[in-house]
A and B are shown apart, each in its own frame.
Chain A
Amino acid sequence: MPDLTPNIGAFASIAKEDLARVFQVLQEMGYTLLGPTRGETAIVYDEIESVGDLPIGWGDEQEAASYRLRQRDDNAYFGYTLAPQSWKRFLYPPVQKLFTLTVQDGTFEIDGNAAPAPRYALIGVRACELRAIAIQDRVFLSGNFHVPDYRARRQQAFVLAVNCTEPGNTCFCASMGAGPRVGPGFDLALTELDEIFVVEVGSELGRQVLGQTPWRPAGAFELQNARRALAEAEQHMGRQMDTSDLPDLLYRNLEHRHWDEVAQRCLSCTNCTQVCPTCFCCDVLDQPDLTGQRTDRVRVWDSCFSLAFSHVHGGNIRPHTRSRYRQWLTHKLASWIDQFGSSGCVGCGRCITWCPVGIDITAEVAAIRAEV
């Protein structure tokens, strides 16, 4: 029998209930499934066991500084916009032990992180999030210095992306060229329709998984519906960002009075950086025991909004909220491009939704643009 499974770049169609089979195949291959599930107050990404753990029939309403769960009037599997935190917390954990150092007979002994990296299947990765992962790949895995624990988790991760047909009020991925249709880097990508999922094959591994699932060729009508849903999503972004003249617009306006205005509102609380799927800053701490003979070296998420982060020999280089917010925004939208060749913002809108006072990156840029 010739293998008729669609090739990379081709489409198939699977019945909704057969997503369970995809999960099962992945589990048989040794993957731990991570996906959306309904927590008490939000749809979060967490370990899931089966399709029953998905937030079927649930969605969310997002606005600046506001998020609410909402029951849908259908049984959509992926009918929400985005979880509060991105896949970053799994690929680049907030607290990660790097190694243990022991003093023995006057020398140091290093005990590396022996536990094997988990094999994650990421279920429900949105276009903006996939782009964010690609951006973090560039940060952590290109050039001379790589982050080994990130590499281990990343290389063996399976990505089951889901095209976004539910952009929220704080979304602007279309402005950033990062969505709503998933770009390269997935193994399989789903588009959810009423009765079926249209499946796009993105890798040989994805093709193998699909091959073990009941599938049929995607019909022209189904493909058209999927395309239409995405075209509509693109028209329904809650926010927009005019990216013309970036980064120069920001570089020309480093002393703009709007930075002072934002600093009046900003709490310097770090939430925007922690929920951002591309922010990568960290601190490295030693946690010695009381004998002084042994220490754990631990990496933790840090933020350009924390004071200690910009404390260098001789003092603090960003002592005021004004300079910290300016650093964050100009890095994200301007110097990131110089540093890594792309914008550091994918337009996911998390920093807008999860800022406790609703500071809005799109509005702040627009304000600077309005009165140059």
Chain B
Amino acid sequence: MNATETGVTKANGAGARARPRLAVFKFASCDGCQLSLLDAEDELLAVTDAVELAYFVEASRHADPGPYDVALVEGSISTPEQIRQIKEVRRQARLLIAIGACATAGGIQALRNWRDVDDTVRMVYAHPEYIETLDTSSPISDHVQVDFELRGCPINKYQLLEVVTALLVGRQLRLPTYSVCVECKRHGVTCVMVAQGIACMGPATQAGCGAICPAYGRGCYGCYGPMEAPNGPALGHQFEQLGLDAPDIVRLFRSFNGYADPFRLISDKYEEVAR
């Protein structure tokens, strides 16, 4: 299990507790994960009571320097400057938690990793000469030690609440690593793959979203990335049985978390087939 002991301060009855200092940083990303943190409307006051929001520019102009007890890091590493910045964040943070598909797998922008980066830059920017970029968009863990990862595109507020409570109580962080199927079955959602023949990434994808898409009759898009023991080849084979051709299968595995190894290997394999 990828869990970590947090233990910044122990809960000791009703006594006063030191408020852990929390910082939120952004790299190459859409800000959606940070917005999900702010989405914890009902709990936000309790959260700000319990932790000190020392650095969170999306929420407050107030920005305190480190060191921090916890740094939540959104976004992938996409430029040379970001490599320097993430190393500095790491130096300032006791615990570094990568949040969202960009920070944990490179994000949707990692689609460029399969192309020539200069081509991509010329395609997107009117003045490519102003753009300084790396060849790839890569997860935080490719560059510095990451203590824990919150998955999702975007993450949801329950993960933040779990981080904060675990931190305050000083216990293990517990988030599911099993498949989305567990959530479908718990919620009584009838399997879209079995009952409708819809290709669904759920069996290979980590739970945590509450199985939103299958509940609305859609196949899972894989927002939470590979589950603990993904069997991509077997799922790919089942997609073939459902009548999908190789390019369709490439697209399913190659999305927000497409650059995560277990998904990347499958999309690469089907791309070979498609050629």
Contacts and interface: CB of A to CB of B under 8 A. Distances in A.
Nearest to B45: A290
Nearest to B11: A292
B169 A288 contact: yes
Interface stretch (A62-70, A116-124, A173-181, A328-336): A62-70
Q: Size class of B's contact patch?
A: 35 or more
Nearest to A63: B194
B217 A290 contact: no
B1 A290 contact: no
Contacts of B266: none
A94 B186 contact: yes
B228 interface: yes
Nearest to A353: B194
A300 B186 contact: yes
A136 interface: no
B145 interface: no
Interface string B191-230: 1111111001011100000000000010000000000111
Contacts of A106: 13
Given A321-B231, A356-B238, A269 B165 contact: no
Contacts, number: 132
A291 to B, nearest CB: 8
A85 B164 CA distance: 36
B1 A267 contact: no
Interface stretch (A127-135, A190-198, A209-217, A270-278): A270-278
A293 B179 contact: no
Contacts of B197: 66
B185 A306 contact: no
A275 B182 CA distance: 10
A356 B194 contact: yes
Q: Size class of A's contact patch?
A: 35 or more
How would you classify the secondary structure of chain A's contact residues: helix, strand, loop or mixed?
loop
Contact of B165 (A289, A353, A354): A289
Contacts of B103: none
B123 interface: no
Contacts of A270: 178-179, 181-182, 185
B47 interface: yes
Given A84-B195, A301-B185, A290 B161 contact: yes
A85 B195 CA distance: 13
How would you classify the secondary structure of chain B's contact residues: helix, strand, loop or mixed?
helix
A44 interface: yes
A40 interface: yes
Contacts of A293: 14
B191 A85 contact: no
A303 interface: yes
A303 B182 contact: yes
B4 interface: no
A264 B112 CA distance: 31
B50 A307 contact: no
B53 to A, nearest CB: 14
B31 to A, nearest CB: 24
Contact of A103 (B13, B46, B174, B182): B13
Contacts of B164: 290
A321 B202 CA distance: 17
Contact of B1 (A68, A94, A274, A308): A308
Given A66-B194, A84-B190, A266-B231, A307 B177 contact: yes
A357 B165 CA distance: 38
A41 B237 CA distance: 24
Interface of A: 39-42, 44, 65-69, 84-85, 89, 94-95, 103, 106, 264-271, 274-275, 285, 288-293, 300-301, 303, 305-308, 311, 321, 353-354, 356-357
25 contacts: A41-B217, A65-B241, A69-B195, A84-B190, A84-B191, A85-B185, A94-B185, A103-B13, A106-B13, A264-B233, A265-B237, A267-B230, A269-B181, A271-B181, A274-B182, A288-B165, A292-B168, A300-B186, A301-B185, A301-B186, A307-B178, A307-B229, A308-B178, A354-B194, A357-B234
Given A292-B11, A292-B169, A356-B235, 14 more contacts: A41-B195, A89-B188, A94-B186, A106-B13, A269-B181, A270-B181, A271-B203, A275-B185, A285-B174, A291-B46, A301-B182, A306-B177, A307-B229, A321-B231
The 9 nearest A-B residue pairs measured at CB: A274-B185, A292-B11, A269-B203, A94-B186, A306-B178, A267-B203, A41-B195, A269-B181, A290-B46
